[in-house]
Chain A
Amino acid sequence: MTRSLTLVTALSRGPRMLLALPAAALAVTLAACGSSAGPSAHPAAPKPAGVAHSHAHSAPTHAASSEPTKQAGAAHRHAHSAPPPAAATPAPPAPPVPTVNPIPQGNGGDQDADNNGGPSDGDGNI
């Protein structure tokens, strides 16, 4: 009888305090994650792979492949960079804006592939 009372007492005191620990840790973790998951530069929505296939391939030389839909978000599965430090730091200067379309499309400019619907090269738009 005494032992039963002891068990009841232990169950009614210790577990309540101890079980509060995971809940507290959960709340702290959720808060930490939630604060940095706010506005993102890029939504997690799947890529509009279908868009590519809805276009008319008027330039067969550079036509996109008609393979099945890309496995969207493959790049998103990689490790993410560390969140920015909490301390407020002055914002870095905005990168310079590229010159607006100096190379005409439609075999313009240097007749590069990227002026004819091919992949873009690494030029600085000059």
Chain B
Amino acid sequence: MTVRTARRGRYALAAIAATGIAVVVVAFALPGRSPGHGFPALHPAAAPTRWPHAALPNGTAVLSYPPSLRPLAGDTDAVSVARLGPGGVFQLYLNATRRQGSERLQGWAAFRLRLLRSDDATSARQDAAAEGVQFRGGTGSCVIDDYITRIGGHHYEEVACLVQGRTSASVIVGAAAAARWVRARPLLFRAVAAYLVR
């Protein structure tokens, strides 16, 4: 009787262990349940002290950027910086623009993709998105996407966030040639995480 009880106990333990293993294996073996919707964690933090800053002309946001990037001419209500390679190739690009139109936090990713397709790009594809992202001084919605430009057929990947501060909203974009995205992303995300809104 004692032997039987002990044996049953071992079987029960084995069954519980097998159940746990099965659940873990299935959870990790299956592909992502909603591919394209994941977004890396963004931890808002001040930029390194050596990074320059560029405030929006209306003073509602401050873009911090790596020293290797240089200001670009652009819209009067925006700031743009970039690092260009040989031949003027865009290696890194950052832009901040005050909210201009009907951008909203809800559905921002879809809005951004439609805007790209209707303006600059022949095609645009969402890679990841998130809403309720914390920024310095506000909350935002973000999308990571890649697109092919109408002019030149260049393939870029970007992170674009609409950020709502206490008094106003603005958009920050960090982009790089898609082929360089994996290397460029950490620096671009650091700039996005340092974006300050008021």
Contacts and interface: CB of A to CB of B under 8 A. Distances in A.
Interface of A: 3, 6-7, 10, 14-15, 18-19, 21-22, 25-26, 29-30, 33, 36-37, 40-44, 47, 49, 51-71, 74-81, 83, 92, 94-103, 105-106, 110, 112-126
Instruction: Give the top 3 A-B pairs by smallest Cβ distance, nearest first.
Output: A55-B153, A52-B155, A42-B36
Contact of A75 (B116, B144, B171): B144
Contacts of A77: 38
Interface residues of B, number: 95
Contact of B89 (A54, A64, A83, A121): A64
Contacts of B100: 123-126
A119 B118 contact: no
B164 to A, nearest CB: 14
Contacts of A51: 148, 153, 155
Given A63-B89, A64-B154, A78 B39 contact: yes
Nearest to B21: A22
Interface of B: 3-4, 7-8, 11-12, 14-16, 18-19, 21-23, 26-27, 30-41, 72, 74-75, 78, 80, 82, 85, 87-91, 93, 95-97, 99-104, 106-108, 110-111, 114-116, 118-121, 125-128, 130, 144, 146-158, 160, 170-173, 175-182, 185
A123 B14 contact: no
A55 B125 CA distance: 18
Contact of A94 (B36, B107, B108, B128): B107
B111 A95 contact: yes
Nearest to B32: A80
A63 B177 CA distance: 9
A121 B78 contact: yes
B119 to A, nearest CB: 5
Contacts of B90: 62, 113, 118-119
A75 B38 contact: yes
Given A83-B34, A102-B119, A123-B171, 16 more contacts: A55-B148, A56-B153, A58-B151, A59-B154, A63-B89, A64-B154, A75-B127, A75-B128, A78-B128, A99-B101, A119-B93, A120-B116, A120-B121, A120-B147, A120-B175, A124-B100
